[in-house]
Amino acid sequence: MEAKATVVSNRIGSERFLTTRTMVQLGMLIAITLIMGLTPLGTIPTPFLSVSLVTVPVAIAAILMGPKGGFIVGGVFGLTSFYNAVAGKSAMMAAFFAINPAATAFTAIVPRLFEGVLCGLIFMGLSKIKNFKTPAFYLASLSCPVFNTILFMSSVVFFFYDCEFIQNLVVSKGATNPLHFVILLVGVQGVVEAVTCLVVAGAVSQAVARYLRKN
């Protein structure tokens, strides 16, 4: 019985993608991502970067439906981020859009695509380790906001570090180099995002996976 459960469990995230159950899960997570990404429900405002909670549905999609699910829901996250930049809902992203719309689109969307893919791959790899199934849910959930921060801020630094908006922040925060700037800017926000996704996405994805194994 245990061996059978393990085999079924390992199918989470790698099962045939176009199934009714998967489409329902994907639709629900896309809807949640849109609501969180386009309303204040998904963010905790700060003066510059908002604390984003939208990595939670991305992580859940990546764990339950694999890299493809993470790619799709991560892409929806990215599109909402780009919309917010165009609509001026984020001071930093709006400033970037005024400077370089194409680079802003890349910064908003591409890191979110890859965070979902990488999260899904990490879960698939960790879940194959014997007696490591439960930690796999939480470590994969933690990886999603970590990748989001690393990839997003890397794009910000690459495209916009020399612009006036960022340089004003560099001076005001006393940063001595790009890495120092990222650490100072992200700070507590990054920790809040990581802990929230670790706890919420880890618990939800594990609970849903258990339910699916029984049904």
Question: What was the pLDDT predicted at 181?
Answer: 93
**What are the Cα distances from residue 32, in Å, to 8, 25, 73, 84, 209?**
27, 11, 10, 16, 18
Residue pointed to by tokens 């994907």? 26
> Rounded to an integer, what distance in angstroms lies between the CA atom of residue 205 and that of residue 19?
18
Residue pointed to by tokens 């764990």? 63
Q: Confidence band (pLDDT; 50, 70, 90) for 5?
A: very low
Q: Confidence band (pLDDT; 50, 70, 90) for 14?
A: very low
Q: What is 128-147 written as a DSSP string? A: TSTT-HHHHHHHHHHHHHHH
Question: What was the pLDDT predicted at 213?
Answer: 80
Q: Confidence band (pLDDT; 50, 70, 90) for 46?
A: low
Length of the chain in residues, anyone? 215
**What are the Cα distances from residue 4, in Å, to 9, 132, 210, 214?**
8, 16, 13, 12
Q: Would you say the pTM of this structure is higher than 0.95?
A: no
> Rounded to an integer, what distance in angstroms lies between the CA atom of residue 3 and that of residue 198?
27
User: Identity (one letter) of the amino acid at 205?
Assistant: S
User: Any idea where the domains of the chain sit in the sequence?
Assistant: 2-214
Q: What is the overall mean pLDDT for the chain?
A: 88
User: Identity (one letter) of the amino acid at 36?
Assistant: M
Beta bridge partners of 44: 51
Q: Confidence band (pLDDT; 50, 70, 90) for 212?
A: confident
Mean pLDDT value across residues 62-66: 94
- CATH entry 3.30.1330.80 includes domain 2-214: no
Question: What was the pLDDT predicted at 6?
Answer: 44
Q: Confidence band (pLDDT; 50, 70, 90) for 4?
A: very low
Percent of the chain with pLDDT over 90: 68
Say if residue 183's pLDDT is above 80.
yes
> Rounded to an integer, what distance in angstroms lies between the CA atom of residue 207 and that of residue 212?
9
Mean pLDDT value across residues 65-93: 93
